[in-house]
Amino acid sequence: MCEHRMTLDYFKASGTDYALGLAAESEGARRTGITGMASAFKEFAGCGEIDLEATRVEGGLKVSGKLRWASNLCEDPVIVPAAKTAEGLQLLFALGAETEGVTLGSSLALLGLNATACAWVSFEDVFIPGAQILSHDFLTLWHRCAQPS
């Protein structure tokens, strides 16, 4: 449930009305959280790039790309991934897995990992309203979440 816990931390650190509403749903176990942050952490470490590309459009973002690995792909999850613009801006946003243009892959069926509900997630021109952007500076938000409490 580490993925779920991290999404909750991101919601609270963001502090937007949208994020705090998702935090309440997550704390009440009404929605499971997915981060899919492997590519973001690889970029921060200098050994990879963020998999999702974001383009600014009126009212928000359009996001495309594929998360090659995500856990907690249970019923009605909320996804909290990072995306990068052509200008290099690193964003964190949230959306329901039911959002148009989002496709959840089939379970990877890896021995010993079946209970983790792991698969890929693809994004094809997914519109993200501005209110669903949790941070325009993901690394700073992540550092706030990583501080010991």
**Average of per-residue pLDDT across 93-120:** 82
**pTM, full prediction:** 0.87
Which of 39, 67, 3, 28 is CA-nearest to residue 138? 39
Give the pair of three-digit tokens for residue 143: 């550092």
**9 close to 140: Cβ distance less than 8 angstroms:** no
CA distances to 38, 43, 79, 145 from 47, rounded to whole Å, are 11, 6, 23, 22
d(CA 106, CA 131): 30
> pLDDT band for position 4 (50/70/90)?
low
d(CA 76, CA 140): 28
Three-class SS of residue 118? coil
Residues, the chain: 149
What percent of the chain is modeled with pLDDT above 90? 43
What is the tens place of the pLDDT at every residue in 39-92?
888 888 889 899 999 999 999 999 999 998 887 777 778 899 999 999 999 999
d(CA 71, CA 34): 6
Would you say residue 134 has pLDDT above 90?
Answer: yes
CATH topology of domain 2-146: Butyryl-CoA Dehydrogenase, subunit A; domain 2 (2.40.110)
**Average of per-residue pLDDT across 13-36:** 85
**66 close to 75: Cβ distance less than 8 angstroms:** no
Average of per-residue pLDDT values in the chain: 86
Would you say residue 22 has pLDDT above 70?
Answer: yes
**4 close to 74: Cβ distance less than 8 angstroms:** no
**Average of per-residue pLDDT across 114-118:** 72
**Average of per-residue pLDDT across 107-117:** 71
* Inter-helix orientation angle 38-45/138-146, to 10°: 100
**Average of per-residue pLDDT across 8-16:** 88
Three-class SS of residue 149? coil
Distance of CA 57 to the CA centre of its chain: 19
**Average of per-residue pLDDT across 136-143:** 81
